[in-house]
């Protein structure tokens, strides 16, 4: 291909090539990095635009190499905590996400934000895109969606599940002698026998009731008298903040149950960034976007969580103004070009 033809390559294609080189040049295997370096040098020399792109990439690649040692403890903890048969693929996925994050010039603290010790050391957890179902010692069934984690504290007086991260579907086994509690930073949910979904977010905890009812107490009122509790029944949803419980919303309990069974994301009028957050928990690598730029786009859809590529295609078809670029299998860019 001639230099003139190479210079005619569009920005999207050049971005995709650059992202691919970043992944290859920051691979875990030393020999693989050496082979990539030789190809990268040849690619750099084929076009002035390639040379310019390569120069800007070098500092990012150097940063990745410098931070490789910082990422190693988190990856080692993740490796040690997973069953050996599944370890290699999961650690490689986590490592790739870490390296891509560094390469894209995210803050140095990304590794601790993405895989904090509280998540790595949790009693039960799932990786990106993984679903896990367990039956506890009392017969309670827990189902964790992607990138979720819980701690379990069972004793003679109570059964407590701490939701550290993500989302969990709980089917509580009856035990009148021991109340069942779910705790997050925002509050406490108490149930005797019921079925519900709890999702932990940065600013609040979302409780969706499928059967029976629970009582909710905020973190600020955790030690207050019983009359401060809020009752939430089947077909209702509330947002729990540390200082209060939001208004009750009606939900389709059967629809929520089906969504969990078929691994779907069902949304009604939710801002696009929140939808992309959910898809990101079920997709290896990164979905990059400007929250403020996309906040006014509201989504009502049923999206497949086991095929996030298809989910992104559906979003693109529903919102023609969106531009969704898959630069590599581990990097998707979502934006809305300015008029």
Does the structure show a pLDDT above 70 at 82?
no
What is the domain-level CATH number for residue 205?
A: 2.60.120.1440
**Ordered DSSP codes for 51-94:** HHHHHHHHHHHHHHHHHHHHHHHHHHHHHHHS-HHHHHHHHHHH
Residue 228 belongs to what H/E stretch? none
Cβ atoms of 179 and 155 within 8 Å: the answer is: no
187 has which bridge partners? 184, 218
The pLDDT assigned to 120 comes to 79
Contacts 24+ apart (CB under 8 A), 9-16: 9/47, 9/49, 12/325, 14/49, 14/50, 14/53, 15/325, 15/327, 15/333, 16/325, 16/327, 16/328
Query: Is 0.85 topped by the overall pTM?
Result: no
Angle in degrees, 0-180, between the axes of helices 308-318 and 272-280, rounded to the nearest 10: 170
Please check whether residue 257 lies inside any domain of the structure.
no
* Spatial CA neighbour of 197 closest among 268, 148, 127, 129: 148
Domain boundary, last residue among 210, 229, 251: 251
What is the domain-level CATH number for residue 331?
A: 3.55.50.30
* Spatial CA neighbour of 153 closest among 164, 161, 165, 142: 161
- Coil vs helix vs strand at 216: strand
**145 and 90, same structural domain?**
no
Q: How many domains does the chain have?
A: 3
Please check whether residue 51 lies inside any domain of the structure.
yes
The pLDDT assigned to 204 comes to 94
What whole-number percentage of the chain has pLDDT above 70? 73
**100 and 38, same structural domain?**
yes
**179 and 266, same structural domain?**
no
The pLDDT assigned to 124 comes to 95
Contacts of 310 (CB under 8 A, 6+ apart): 304
Mean pLDDT along residues 19-43: 77
Pull the structure tokens for residue 153.
């504290």
Domain boundary, last residue among 251, 274, 296: 251
Does the structure show a pLDDT above 90 at 240?
yes
Contacts 24+ apart (CB under 8 A), 176-182: 178/138, 178/154, 180/140
The pLDDT assigned to 85 comes to 44
The pLDDT assigned to 310 comes to 95
What does the alpha-carbon distance between residue 339 and residue 14 come to, in Å, rounded to a whole number? 22
**49 and 26, same structural domain?**
yes
**105 and 16, same structural domain?**
yes
Across the chain, mean pLDDT equals 80
**232 and 160, same structural domain?**
yes
**153 and 66, same structural domain?**
no
- Coil vs helix vs strand at 183: strand
The pLDDT assigned to 86 comes to 44
**232 and 145, same structural domain?**
yes
What does the alpha-carbon distance between residue 50 and residue 48 come to, in Å, rounded to a whole number? 5
Confidence tier at 279 by pLDDT (50, 70, 90)? very high
Please check whether residue 232 lies inside any domain of the structure.
yes
Please check whether residue 220 lies inside any domain of the structure.
yes
Mean pLDDT along residues 66-74: 50
Domain that holds residue 11: 3-120
Q: Mean pLDDT lowest for which of 44-48, 99-103, 131-135, 186-190?
A: 99-103
């Amino acid at each position: 291909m001639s230099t003139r033809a190479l210079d005619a390559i569009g920005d999207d294609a050049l971005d995709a090539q650059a992202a691919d080189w970043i992944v290859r040049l920051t691979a875990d295997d030393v020999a693989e990095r050496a082979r990539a370096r030789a190809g990268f040098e040849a690619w750099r020399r084929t076009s002035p635009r390639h040379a310019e792109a390569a120069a800007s990439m070098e500092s990012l690649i150097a940063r990745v190499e410098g931070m490789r040692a910082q990422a190693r403890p988190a990856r080692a903890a993740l490796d040690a905590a997973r069953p050996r048969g599944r370890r290699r693929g999961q650690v490689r996925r986590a490592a790739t996400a870490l390296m891509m994050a560094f390469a894209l010039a995210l803050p140095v603290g990304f590794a601790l934000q993405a895989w904090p010790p509280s998540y790595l050391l949790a009693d039960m957890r799932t990786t990106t895109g993984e679903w896990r179902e367990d039956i506890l010692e009392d017969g309670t069934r827990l189902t964790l969606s992607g990138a979720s984690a819980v701690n379990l504290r069972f004793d003679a007086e109570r059964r407590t599940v701490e939701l550290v991260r993500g989302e969990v579907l709980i089917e509580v086994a009856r035990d009148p002698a021991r109340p069942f509690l779910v705790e997050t930073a925002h509050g406490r949910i108490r149930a005797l026998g019921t079925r519900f979904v709890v999702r932990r977010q940065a600013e609040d905890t979302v409780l969706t009731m499928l059967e029976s009812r629970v009582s909710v107490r905020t973190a600020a009122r955790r030690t207050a008298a019983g009359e401060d509790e809020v009752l939430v029944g089947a077909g209702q949803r509330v947002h729990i903040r540390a200082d209060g419980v939001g208004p009750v919303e009606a939900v389709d309990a059967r629809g929520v149950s089906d969504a969990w069974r078929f691994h779907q994301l069902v949304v009604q009028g939710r801002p696009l960034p929140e939808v992309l957050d959910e898809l990101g928990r079920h997709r290896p690598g990164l979905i990059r976007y400007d929250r403020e730029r996309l906040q006014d786009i509201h989504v009502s859809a049923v999206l497949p969580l086991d095929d996030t590529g298809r989910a992104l295609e559906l979003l693109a078809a529903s919102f023609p103004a969106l531009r969704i670029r898959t630069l590599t299998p581990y990097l998707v860019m979502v934006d809305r070009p300015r008029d």
